[in-house]
Amino acid sequence: MTQDAIGQAWEALVATARRTVTDGLVVGTSGNVSVRVGDLVLVTPSGVPYDRLTPADATVVDLAGNQVRGELMPTSELPMHLEIYRHTPAGAVVHTHAVHATAVSTLVTELPPIHYMAAALGGPVRVAPYALYGTEELAGHMLTALADRTACLLRNHGTVAHGDSLDQAYDRTAQLEWMCRVWLTASSVPGHTPALLPPGELDRVAEKFRGYGQRR
């Protein structure tokens, strides 16, 4: 793996991490981001504000979790990131403590189908049971909740989303937070119950999504 490839991936990772702060998806040093480059994984380091990260801070591990580059300790949530890379074709992972999504994680075991964008995440978004942060137990719960999905909620904790790229993983994270905000907002109106999408509708949406976007 060339130094240029690592450098470019690190630059993109830091930009995405800073975006999670700017867009209010994390506070301080909470949350973390990773991107896969070949058989290596670049991750945000533990407890370092994203605006202080420089090219010299690149933190790189292999798929077994062994640190191969960098002096800073990798994020404490490394087990979650590695489980995703070991079991899916993901190219990037974003983990946040987004406010509305975290609130929803304390209320339900699955985000109600309030909007068709759930189809973009593979279907109804599940909530992984609570476990101590940074543990293999939490990583296992998350992997189960992610079965056939590209995002899930972590009870009393936050969100995890993965994608082919940093941009896609980030977009899925933002869409999940938005859907949680919509559901919470609709649910808070006294005397009214939100209308939910009927069974099978997300499958219809997923089929239509296959032709979405620009064709080249």
Catalytic center residues: 77
Token readout for 200 is 């099978």
Q: What is the CA radius of gyration of the chain?
A: 17
Nearest to 75 by CA among 61, 89, 55: 61
Number of helical H runs and strand E runs in the chain: 6, 8
> Is 12 in a helix, a strand, or coil?
helix
Intra-chain end-to-end CA distance of the chain, in Å: 30
List C-alpha distances in Å: 190 to 32, 78, 114, 194: 37, 42, 17, 11
H/E stretch holding 11 reads helix 3-22
Q: Report the distance separating Cα 8 and Cα 15, nearest Å.
A: 11
Q: Report the distance separating Cα 155 and Cα 106, nearest Å.
A: 6
Place of tokens 């991936």: 9
Q: Are 62 and 53 in contact (CB under 8 A)?
A: no
Q: Are 1 and 40 in contact (CB under 8 A)?
A: yes
